[in-house]
Amino acid sequence: MANHPFENFNLEPSLIDAVKDLNFSQPTEIQTRVIPKIIKQASLIGQSQTGTGKSHAFLLPLMHSIDINVKEPQAIIVAPTRELAQQLFDVASHLAKFKKEVSVKLFIGGTDIEKDRQRAKSQPQLIIGTPTRINDLAKHGDLHVHLASYLVIDEADLMIDLGLIEEVDHIASRLDENTNIAVFSATIPRSLHPFLTKYLENPEFIEIENTEKNKKNIEFYLIPTKGEAKVEKTLKLMDVLNPYLCIIFCNSRDSADELAKQLNAAGVKLGMIHGGLTPRERKQQMKRIRNLEFQFVIASDLASRGIDIDGVSHVINFDVPKDIDFFTHRVGRTGRGQYKGVAITLYSPDEEAHVALIEQQGYHFENVDIKDNELKPIKAHNTRQTRKNKDDHLTNQLKYKVKSNKKKVKPGYKKKFKRELDDLKQKERKQFSKRQNRQERKNKKG
């Protein structure tokens, strides 16, 4: 029997069994490049978008490297949100079912810290959690984080956005100077550089490039809302779609609240994810979303970055994001793995500039609108501008042919100038059309 592709990493047999149980047939690019580095205990910076198989890229080699005979912390993984930490813990717990003697424990905020202090008395070999809670337990001497030989920082750019990088800094400062660190981030913002410079000496840099922005399994649609309220258009769109699960993204918590209020008033049952929810409310919402109580979930960008929801078939950008990274994170929620996805962006006239910036980054949209309860193709949103640019170019070419008298400007001169210019443009277009027809006939004969 042929070897399983993951056996090429020399992972221990129990973890190969875990991979087979997950039905992983081939490693992803980030897994191929990261797993050998972490097995060698190298420090690295990994830059990749969501949905690339990043979690297993660091969890598999960490689990492989854990010595089951050493009953002290050997590796720490910090995540910016409780939901993301919980997801990483779930992945690690699955691997621990196969490497049975590894102790994995989760420490996150919003839970009873006294219970965590009791749980920490039996030191886990792999610590997973949010930086503030891990730091609090380390301060009191409950968690022996200083003994860990490897630290993984997941979603580092979100750590910056949520103001958590100082807490991560406190954890890193407790570690031995020989401890290796892996930092994973979708982007590497300038504000992250001081931390990287402070703790990572000559790290390996691994970037998983997304050269083709449009994933083959995601359909990208652009829908105008000119002359129509976005909420009305959203309600029409909800009637057209029949999603398994759809996330509607807003640029802010206020925008998300206002949209939810109006959609609720229209009788739509919605889930909500934003920073204004208490830990208890957030946990309840996530449970209801995962139980598929909702077809539609409204989310703000920062609140949704640290969560991973299975089965998202559709994404709707109710607000066009001003930051291209947010657009990438949003659309990356759908079309995961082998599943198809649909990403729809609603835009008003004042958002066309932001749409143009997204297109300049390599995204390509199908321009559609809702007609007869279907999405039907329409002219591209920038058709008029493209035509105007061509017309401006032609105008500049022909201006010199129209005689002008700079010294004496007679009454009606501007109108006359425009008429003559329009006549010349019309003649130029006719001549161009004739040349095109002649060339086509010539090509057919050839």
Residues 334-357: tens digit of each pLDDT: 887 778 899 999 999 999 989 988
Dist. CA 165–CA 193, nearest whole Å: 11
Torsion of CA 131, 301, 48, 110, to 10 degrees: 20
Give the residue carrying structure tokens 């997941």: 154
pLDDT at position 324: 78
pLDDT at 51 over 70: no
pLDDT at 227 over 50: yes
**With bands split at pLDDT 50, 70 and 90, how would you rate the model's confidence at 77?**
very high
Span of 149-158, 293-302, 319-328, 390-399 with lowest mean pLDDT:
390-399
Task: Quick: pLDDT tens for 274-303.
Answer: 777 777 888 888 889 889 999 999 998 766
Dist. CA 250–CA 86, nearest whole Å: 25
pLDDT at position 421: 60
Pairing of strands 341-347, 314-317: parallel
HSE, side-chain direction, 13 A CA sphere, residue 301: 22
What phi and psi, each to the nearest 5 degrees, are found at residue 185? -160, 145
Dist. CA 305–CA 330, nearest whole Å: 8
Task: Quick: pLDDT tens for 110-156.
Answer: 889 999 999 999 999 999 999 999 999 999 999 999 999 999 999 99
CA distance to 223, 308, 347, 348, per residue, from 366 (Å): 9, 27, 13, 16
Assess contact for 255 and 318: CB atoms under 8 A: yes
Classified as helix, coil or strand, 220 is: strand
Dist. CA 239–CA 214, nearest whole Å: 26
CB neighbour class for 234 (10 Å; exposed up to 12, middle 13-18, buried from 19): buried
CA distance to 428, 432, 434, 437, per residue, from 441 (Å): 20, 14, 11, 6
**And the tokens for 398?**
């022909």
Which residues are CB-contacts of 292 (< 8 A; sequence separation ≥ 6)? 245, 311
Classified as helix, coil or strand, 139 is: helix
Give the residue carrying structure tokens 């090429």: 8
